[in-house]
Structure 1
Amino acid sequence: MASGRLDLDGNPIKPMTICMIGAGGFIGSHLCEKLMAETPHKVLAVDVYNDKIKHLLEPSSLPWADRIQFHRLNIKNDSRLEGLIRMSDLTVNLAAICTPADYNTRPLDTIYSNFIDALPVVSVSCCYLFVQFS
């Protein structure tokens, strides 16, 4: 875990809680691995599957065991998502809702529109995400 990281103004970066929607997918699972290995941040991992991050969740002896929690939710119809987002300092939306009916009737940004103004949200859809923590 990295320590002594500074922001662009030279101030120490404090650990934060990140709600990662879609943490069990390709990008989300790799981002979870990177966050656990290289930062002190806590992740509330949200997805319907955890196969790709199971290795981060099972061994309780790993140094990050107390910094990652998996929440099995279907974000389209589970009211618990709002509580997880409210508990977080940052929400990263990597959800893949892939049916045309979903896009036409309920865009991803409306899923949590009631409280989106109060929270920083990063939404990634059908694009490349490059993250470097060093």
Structure 2
Amino acid sequence: MSTPNDPDEQGAFEPPAAAWPPPPPPGWGVPHQPGYAPYQYVPPPPPHPAASTSLTLGLISLIGGMLCYVPILMAPYALIHGRRTVREIDAEPGRWSGRESASAGYILGIIGTVILALGILVTVGVVTLLVVMDA
């Protein structure tokens, strides 16, 4: 008994069926889409040099202020420094990063300045009360 692909049989030899279809001829398939540039890595902008400074000032003023009240005097400076840094970063968003650190320093400066103002008011009130009661 002979098979259809038997070379002894008189006739054309048929190759076995391929497991995958043959590749398409050149020029077929998805055409190149014009207008799309290949992906290029763009590094992030560097952090603003004053962003970490404002965060550090805000942290020192709050944490140090809770411990010995003298470092809380840096809170207004942290507020001013942090706000200026946030404005500089917002003015050129592609040039600088670090807005999160600058904003955190600004917010910590606000909190520290409020605590400082309340502390001054309480101190003035206590001193005034003591002077009035002593007289």
- TM, length-normalised to structure 1: 0.23
Indicate the structure (1 or 2) with the bigger Cα radius of gyration: 2
As a proportion of its length, which structure holds more strand?
1
- TM, length-normalised to structure 2: 0.23
